[in-house]
Amino acid sequence: MTLVARLLPRLALGGFLAVGLVACGPATPTASPAPVTAAPTDTPAATLTPATPTPAATVTPPAAVTAAPGTTPCGTTDLKASHGLVEGAAGSIITEVVLEADADCTVETSPSLGLQDKTGAALITATPAGPGSIQLTAGDAYTSQIRIANWCEPEPAFPLALVLWIDDEKLIVTGGSFPDGGMPGCLGTGGARLESTPWVVSP
């Protein structure tokens, strides 16, 4: 065997081992990519818009109550008043007063009343009138229910007259004496009561 023939197997084995060593050698480390850090984004500062002030509510005062245009307070010369049937009921004496005006004018919503004896002396002075006023139309009739009760004084001199006060003027209510047959009984302390309902237009 020649020298070349003897060396070929050894050379082949040596090449194989070299390849194996290269393959089994430590792998070259691969550098990990550096973490990517996002560049900070500049956030604009919040802008505060000043609040627009709300205007204060305006309070409108209520309109004053006034009489209808063209109307004036009634005077005693503009009016006539009379009463109807006089009746007794439950310790009271009642009647109805009818009021008429010759011209359009105004009176209190409820009448202010008085009572006088046959000499004109006051037995009951003016009672309070109702608040506000009512317009009377010429030719229309207006009624109010009248009641007297709790008479604890001596019997007065008859005939008596019912009085309707128009401001500071006195209008005598016609129709005869009221009361006409004696006074109502005494029901207790507090004095006589002379009462009325508001005026209403007669149907």
pLDDT digits 0-9 by tens, 71-119: 799 999 999 999 999 999 878 999 999 999 999 999 999 999 999 999 9
Cα 88 to Cα 93: distance, rounded to the nearest angstrom: 4
Exposure string of 163-177, with b = 16+ CB inside 10 Å and e = fewer, is bbbbeeeebebebee
Look up the CATH architecture of domain 76-201.
Sandwich (2.60)
pLDDT digits 0-9 by tens, 172-193: 999 999 999 899 999 888 899 9
H or E element: which one contains 21?
helix 3-24
Token readout for 67 is 């009489």
Q: Is the pTM of this model over 0.85?
A: no
**Amino acid making up residue 83:** H
Residue 139's nearest CA partner among 102, 173, 164 is 102
Residues in the chain: 203
